[in-house]
Structure 1
């Protein structure tokens, strides 16, 4: 599996992946957040490739020296194969390069079904946080 920074040529594949991996509402919100994050800091948008096919995507952001996992999406056919864990590990490495030592996952309504996944990653430095206001992608 290869993890790398999002490239413009990934856009169509990412859009298709998000449509099959997320609810319609979550997909729309994620596409909007993806566009904003790409305009501010594309290094925090990672894709996972398996056999040269898009397997997953993770969008992160940094706000006041805190790292946030905004969204992770893995193709339904490739779940439980380490794609999500690999994306989290790679994102944490990016955060550490930028001196971000605390990483949070917003426990929003779209991430609720992923709580067991995030909780299983306690060794990956993730903390769950329920934001007082919706987490939006912000300029780092």
Structure 2
């Protein structure tokens, strides 16, 4: 594998991250805009992890911790870089962050229709919890 480096995103990374998500991530979120990502990076500067190979953005994950639960969002690896250990390296970095913060349980947001992602999460040791159903309400309208 190329030289892999994982680091925290900074405000100047926002446009590159948004472009990356449009290409590499399945689906979009209402928070996938400059303001949403800026709020994340400003509020929790260590939450958005970037994987770079030879200085080029190859993967992302958001490792959010609210003081009680550990939440994983936006695990995405560039299509040309998949199956090279980048997603696993991002998850390892996220889980290390959680353990350092005292987190004990991680959960991941995974689209039902994204079967490759569901397979990747299972391979990483995550499993769906059938007893839980996700309930959502948009707050912006």
TM-score (norm 1): 0.79
Taking only aligned residues, the RMSD between alpha carbons, in angstroms, comes to 2.4
Question: Which of 78, 86, 91 matches 2:94?
Answer: 91
Consecutive unaligned residues of structure 1, counting only runs of 5 or more, are none
- Answer whether contact 1:106 1:135 (CA < 8 A) is retained: no
Question: Which of 46, 52, 66 matches 2:55?
Answer: 52
- Answer whether contact 2:60 2:90 (CA < 8 A) is retained: yes
CA offset at residue 81 of structure 1? Answer: 0.8
Distance 1:135 1:91 in 2: 27
Distance 2:48 2:63 in 1: 6
Consecutive unaligned residues of structure 2, counting only runs of 5 or more, are none
Larger Rg: 2
Structure 1 outlier segments of 4+, above 6 Å = none
Number of residue-to-residue matches in the alignment: 131
- Answer whether contact 2:6 2:51 (CA < 8 A) is retained: yes
TM-score (norm 2): 0.79
Q: Does 1:19 align with 2:22?
A: yes
The structure showing larger relative contact order (alpha-carbon pairs under 8 Å, at least 6 residues apart) is: 1
Equivalent position of 1:80 in the other structure:
83
Distance 1:5 1:57 in 2: 10
